[in-house]
Amino acid sequence: MASDKPLVAVLMGSASDVPLLEPCLKTLKSHAVPFAVRILSAHRTPEETAAFVTEAERDGVEVFIAAAGMAAHLAGAVAARTVRPVIGIPLASGPLNGQDALLSTVMMPPGLPVATVAVNGAQNAAVLAMQILALSRPALGEALREGRERMRREVLEKDRALPRE
């Protein structure tokens, strides 16, 4: 993509989340989607989180991705500050291994949706963000279609290689 300005903002609640977000960042990079990445917390840095969302929206960010574990209020805190799409990634942590994060992320009040991917579903969050961006960027849509075609061919190749007896 031609722009250096971030189109996607990726937020995570803790530095320990960085490895879990690598598939998201790698996927965005592989499609040359400009993004900003920050460690911000709904609970520990609420003012900074709100300020970042407002600034990012003003600067042209079109999609927000927010990842957090346990109470996982980051995506909701972001959604409360923007009308741009917010994608939540519940992260596996704590004694409930992400089930609490999943419910916290997906159970938003009416009028404040957060699109939610699977627990630790960082790659799908990036793909969903790119699908949203592709609505106004046909080349990105074509790249996504080509990726799906590659996946289809890989599955069919594995099927052909499978012993049938």
Q: Does residue 124 lie in a domain region?
A: yes
Which domain range does residue 71 map to? 8-137
* % of the chain with per-residue pLDDT over 90: 96
Q: What pLDDT was estimated at residue 105?
A: 97
Is the pLDDT confidence value at 134 over 90?
A: yes
- Give mean pLDDT, residues 128-156: 97
Distance from C-alpha of 22 to C-alpha of 133, rounded to nearest angstrom = 20
Is the pLDDT confidence value at 4 over 90?
A: no
Give Cβ neighbours of residue 69 (< 8 Å, ≥ 6 apart).
13, 14, 17, 90, 91, 92, 93, 94, 98, 101
Distance from C-alpha of 102 to C-alpha of 87, rounded to nearest angstrom = 12
Q: Does residue 165 lie in a domain region?
A: no
**Number of domain units in the chain:** 1
Q: What pLDDT was estimated at residue 1?
A: 54
> Cα–Cα distances in Å, from 134 out to 61, 71, 74, 75?
14, 32, 25, 22
Q: Does residue 163 lie in a domain region?
A: no
Q: Does residue 42 lie in a domain region?
A: yes
Q: What pLDDT was estimated at residue 165?
A: 83
Q: Does residue 159 lie in a domain region?
A: no
Is the pLDDT confidence value at 3 over 80?
A: no
Q: Does residue 147 lie in a domain region?
A: no
Is the pLDDT confidence value at 141 over 90?
A: yes
Q: Does residue 146 lie in a domain region?
A: no
Q: pLDDT tens across 75-113, in order?
A: 999 999 999 999 999 999 999 999 999 999 999 999 999
CATH number of the structural domain spanning residue 13: 3.40.50.1970
Is the pLDDT confidence value at 129 over 70?
A: yes
Q: Does residue 49 lie in a domain region?
A: yes
- Cβ atoms 102, 89 nearer than 8 A: no
